[in-house]
Structure 1
Amino acid sequence: MGKKAKQEVPLHKVIMVGSGGVGKSALTLQYMYGDFVEEYDPTKADSYRKKINLDNQPCQIDILDTAGQEEYAAIRDNYYRSGEGFLCVFSICEYESFLHTQEFKDQIIRVLDDDKIPIILVGNKADLGQLRKVDPQEAAARAAEWNCRYIETSAKTRQNVDEVYTLLMRQIQQRKQGVKDRDRKRKKAKCVIL
């Protein structure tokens, strides 16, 4: 039996980006463990891995929570290079965090030189609607401009938490499948009999 006899479980690499204090870690911990962490010390990037079923297929998700490391360009760029999909998070209660999402997206595109990378724009803290500073239509318009989805979440109530990760992993998986299909077609095209 060769080493390849055991079926490899696909691994999808998700990177959390966004300003400090928008709830990236809270979303990640809620998704991973079903816990809401009110106070979290965002001193370093954390990586989480979990086996899940995506559309009845086993896979693994690897989540890198950048936790405020964005100011170190070299570190940030390395993180971005390892990502296959991004959750770009802002707080609906903090307009400045919404404005910064454009910088994060621009950095991702610049580093990866790929404007088709899966990204979802996430408005977190939906449970604090009374403190809302970001109009949902404005956020939806930005997502449309980016050609991506906009979803509002609450790490506290778990609203749409599983949904954003599942949706992003589906996009990553579809993209990988598209690359495999293209490679297969290229290989077939190269086999020319004269």
Structure 2
Amino acid sequence: MGNAYSSAFSRSTQQFFTNEVDTVEHLRVAIFGATFVGKSSIVSQIVSKTFPLEHKTTLDETVILSLASDKGVENVRFLDTSGTFVFPAMRQLYIANSHIFLVVYSLDMENSFEEARKIVNEIQEQRPNENIPILLLGNKKDIPKEEREISAEVADLLAIDWDVTEHIFTSAASYEDNVNVLRKILSYSTEVSIRNRTSSRSMQNRFNSACRKEM
């Protein structure tokens, strides 16, 4: 982020929205996508400038990044989802209570592009007419063309009809690419109503109720 921001982050498996942060404004960013597309690597680069060398299965992990500037502090709460949802109600809650969405696919996995389309449709169907920022991320732009199962040109053409906010090609291995993603997130943060930033007790009650139904 250059010299404009200083940052700190914390990593936890706590719930994406909890009563403990009721007094803190958080920009909630949910990261969706199929397994093995690089969601966790993207988050890791954004918050700690590190790139995991081995894939580890993620179980809906929450990472909080605090960015300080002369304009104040922006607390970004990332939800790094697993890519598989045993409890559909959990996915619906994440969609209902997020401010910005990152939907990730990988250029070397054509099926992940189709999964991204389904996720985008689900978000739009669940939250129609809300103009929620959806950033579609095509990961692994750095791999050779012969290793790609879908070209960037075809993906860009097909994604036009998805009505996403932006379609960005990135590499999870590149810190600069992922800083650019963070800049995009922050550029849309001003569009998120402050009164929707804080977690509410009713939100937590819906979370607990959904969990009981799925058990």
- Fold conserved (TM > 0.5)? yes
Pair 1:134-2:143 in alignment: no
Match of 2:189 in 1: 172
Which of residues 58, 62, 67 is equivalent to 1:52? 67
Q: Structure 2: how far apart are the matches of 1:118 and 1:36?
A: 26
* Highest RCO, 1 vs 2 (Cα 8 Å, sep ≥ 6): 2
Pair 1:148-2:165 in alignment: yes
Query: Which deviates further from its counterpart, 17-26 or 109-118?
Result: 109-118
Pair 1:85-2:100 in alignment: yes
Query: Which deviates further from its counterpart, 162-171 or 101-110?
Result: 162-171
Query: Which deviates further from its counterpart, 76-85 or 138-147?
Result: 138-147
2:155 counterpart SS class: helix
Which of residues 32, 43, 57 is equivalent to 1:28? 43
Structure 2 counterpart of 1:174, which letter?
A: E
Cα 1:168–1:144 change in 2 (3 A) is farther
TM-score w.r.t. the length of structure 2 is 0.71
Contact preservation (8 Å) 1:87, 1:122 = yes
Cα 1:96–1:115 change in 2 (3 A) is farther
Contact preservation (8 Å) 1:123, 1:150 = yes
TM-score w.r.t. the length of structure 1 is 0.78
From the two aligned structures, give the one with the greater helix fraction. Answer: 1
Cα 1:51–1:105 change in 2 (3 A) is same
Match of 2:56 in 1: 41
Q: CA RMSD in A?
A: 2.3
Match of 1:162 in 2: 179
Structure 1 counterpart of 2:51, which letter?
A: F
CA offsets 1:65-99 (integer angstroms, 9 cap, x no match): 01124353111111112210101100011111111
Structure 2 counterpart of 1:13, which letter?
A: R
Query: Which deviates further from its counterpart, 130-139 or 45-54?
Result: 130-139
Which of residues 117, 132, 137 is equivalent to 1:122? 137
Residue 152 (structure 1) shift: 1.1
Q: Structure 2: how far apart are the matches of 1:173 and 1:69?
A: 31
2:191 counterpart SS class: helix
Q: Structure 2: how far apart are the matches of 1:88 and 1:55?
A: 30
Which of residues 108, 124, 131 is equivalent to 1:109? 124
Unpaired stretches in structure 2, ≥5 consecutive residues: 1-22, 197-215
Cα 1:147–1:28 change in 2 (3 A) is closer
Q: Structure 2: how far apart are the matches of 1:16 and 1:80?
A: 10
Cα 1:128–1:151 change in 2 (3 A) is same
Contact preservation (8 Å) 1:93, 1:133 = yes
Give the % identical residues: 25
1:100 counterpart SS class: helix
2:144 counterpart SS class: helix
Contact preservation (8 Å) 1:85, 1:169 = no
Unpaired stretches in structure 1, ≥5 consecutive residues: 1-7, 180-194
Q: Structure 1: how far apart are the matches of 2:26 and 2:59?
A: 23
